[in-house]
Structure 1
Amino acid sequence: MKWIYPILAHRAVLWLLLIVNIAGTIYGYIWYKWQLVETPPIFLPFVPDSPTASLFFVFVLIAFLLGKNWPLFEALAIVTLIKYGVWAVVMNLLVFNVTGELDLVALMLILSHGAMAVQGVLYAPFYRIKIWHLVVTSIWTLHNDVIDYVFFMLPRYPILDLYTPQIGYFTFWLSLFSIGVTAFFTLRKNRFTLKLNSY
């Protein structure tokens, strides 16, 4: 698996990922447009979950291209990319389970969000996250769950409205899972690390 890291660290790959993530972030905010129009201003930062996750990763990639690490953005990126990448895949599969239909948009969402989670983890050896970065990220992530499922600012899937309590329960544990995965890959002793500017 180590063979992939020189490829991930190549500037051409970083630029390609930056362009893809910027485009995906813009598309994501456009996708949330109608919900954002109806959202009280105080909740606006917590509604567009997936595009905000990819926006965090955009900053990570910019830092890499500058030969730097911005660890707080790295922590925010990996936790939210895993969480909302997996979340969107599961929700679209749940829609398929309820309706029996999986259109091209749903398939695109499954593939793109699955890729979000994968890219967040693949770059873990390059991150320089410390405990306090993960603590701040954990507060952000769990607070977002409160906003989504106490104030009902979650992404709108009308077909799944009947399952909101169960989805909220699943999302809480998915948050803890994402935080745990991040801790495993970035905080444990003797973890595999790389310097980006080595390639």
Structure 2
Amino acid sequence: MNIKYFWSREFLAKSWFLWLLLICNGLGTIYGYIWYGAQLQYTAEFRPWWQLPFVPDSPTASLFFCLALILLLYPPKRMAGILLQPLIQALAVVTSIKYGIWACVMIFAGAAQGNELVWQDWMLVASHSAMAIEVLLYVRLFHLQSPALIAAITYTLLNDMIDYSFMVFPWLPSVLNDDLIAVEVFTFSLTLFSGALAWWAMRAAGRAPRDMITGR
């Protein structure tokens, strides 16, 4: 069997593989919210409540991807679901690319300034790299549309603005605290790059047929 088969549209659309990805990403999402537990608690105690949803960036991106997978397994039949599907999938693509890359860059930027890499860092590098790769593979099966993509980019830019205006961005390695302006510029730029990459992937892949999912 040609190794290319394992990232072909036919293989990626198999229901058992979608379920496997959903379970893995679901567990990763739960772990991600636990990882943000201390920052969520701090924000709840010292910040307005409305800032809480903007704290856990990576697990929320992973949550969007989980919802996108569910919509592939169970295509919506009602109008509300059909209209919502492209937005959820666009959010999954833009945020997963953005935070998948962002986390890896921050980890290695901290290491370049003397922060010691431990096994958890390598685990985060692997999992966040997978976030970016898997959504790019699944663009071919998603029902992305330009308006939904614009909305997803706008949401992610809003998240960036709140993160750095109200200081609820993900806690950084301590050695990067004096590089906050550079981190902020990189973060906003990465959102635009992720949106552009998602748009390119959408244009390159075209739309996938709704009846593709198979258990075979």
Please say which of residues 53-62 and 156-165 is displaced more in the overlay: 156-165
Taking structure 1 as the reference length, the TM-score comes to 0.93
Match of 1:183 in 2: 199
List aligned pairs for 1:1-199, cutoff 5 A.
1=4, 4-39=8-43, 40=47, 41-68=49-76, 70-99=85-114, 101-157=116-172, 158-186=174-202, 188=203, 191-195=205-209, 197-198=211-212, 199=214
Amino acid at match of 1:197: D
Amino acid at match of 2:161: V
Tell which structure's C-alpha radius of gyration is larger: 2
Q: Deviations over 1:10-62 (max 9, x none)?
A: 11110000001110000000000110111121111111000000000110011
Write the distance in 2 (CA, Å) between the matches of 1:31 and 1:196.
Answer: 36
Q: Is the 8 A contact 2:111 2:117 kept in 1?
A: yes
SS at match of 1:38: helix
Write the distance in 2 (CA, Å) between the matches of 1:174 and 1:82.
Answer: 9
SS at match of 2:144: coil
Write the distance in 2 (CA, Å) between the matches of 1:174 and 1:100.
Answer: 23
Q: Deviations over 1:124-151 (max 9, x none)?
A: 1111122221121121110111111121
Q: Is the 8 A contact 1:50 1:81 kept in 2?
A: yes
Write the distance in 1 (CA, Å) between the matches of 2:138 and 2:90.
Answer: 11
Write the distance in 2 (CA, Å) between the matches of 1:181 and 1:76.
Answer: 13
Please say which of residues 69-78 and 106-115 is displaced more in the overlay: 69-78
Q: Is the 8 A contact 2:12 2:138 kept in 1?
A: yes
Write the distance in 2 (CA, Å) between the matches of 1:192 and 1:183.
Answer: 11
CA apart distance, 1:100: 5.5
Taking structure 2 as the reference length, the TM-score comes to 0.86
Gaps of 5+ in 2: 77-81
User: What number of residue pairs does the alignment pair up?
Assistant: 197
Identity %: 43
Please say which of residues 100-109 and 17-26 is displaced more in the overlay: 100-109
CA apart distance, 1:101: 2.6
Q: CA RMSD in A?
A: 1.6
